[in-house]
Amino acid sequence: MLMVPALTGLRIGEVLGLTWPVVDLKVGKLEVRLNLADTDKGQPLTLQPPKTNSSRRTVPLPPELTSELKIWKLKCPKSDLDFVFAREDGLPYHRKAASVTLDRAISTAEIKRLTPHGLRHTFASLLLADGVPVPEVSALLGHKNSYVTWKV
């Protein structure tokens, strides 16, 4: 659950809304088609399409993530909606659970705190530092335009 935003730049709602039919482990890509939204106001979690057309995108999977997802697919909990990351009862994770998971890993590693969204920013920063053009990074992140990437 934490490798996906770190190695693809997906938003945490996009990670939690991933279903196996949009993950192509043979080719090494995934399609961002759904977002798991929560209102934090006691409303149930809802799957919805991304807010913008640019957020609907195809994202390449690095080989190490593809390998880990193949292993995960064999042991992940089953869910009616075929979530990649489902709880044992088949329901989707809440974004707070992802934060708690990351906090535990950070505490164990004794490193500076980072949020799931921070993993997305780190992904973008590493690409930019590696010389990947801003428009390409922007497209991978699902930003509306390159200005958003530069601004953030």
Query: Domains in the chain: how many in total?
Result: 1
- Residue-wise pLDDT for 63-84, tens only, equals 999 999 999 999 999 999 999 9
- What is the CB-side half-sphere exposure of residue 78 using CA atoms within 13 A? 1
In this structure, what token pair is assigned to residue 59? 């994202």
pLDDT value of residue 76? 96
Report CA dihedral (80, 20, 105, 7) to the nearest 10 degrees. Answer: -160
**CATH number, domain containing residue 28:** 1.10.443.10
pLDDT value of residue 148? 87
pLDDT value of residue 46? 87
Q: What is the mean pLDDT of residues 26-32?
A: 98
User: How many helices (H) and strands (E) are present in the chain, helices listed first?
Assistant: 7, 5
Q: Give the separation between CA 62 and CA 4, rounded to whole angstroms.
A: 10
Q: Which domain covers residue 145, as residue numbers?
A: 3-151
Query: What confidence tier does 39 reach under pLDDT thresholds 50, 70, 90?
Result: low
Is 0.85 topped by the overall pTM? yes
Query: What confidence tier does 44 reach under pLDDT thresholds 50, 70, 90?
Result: confident
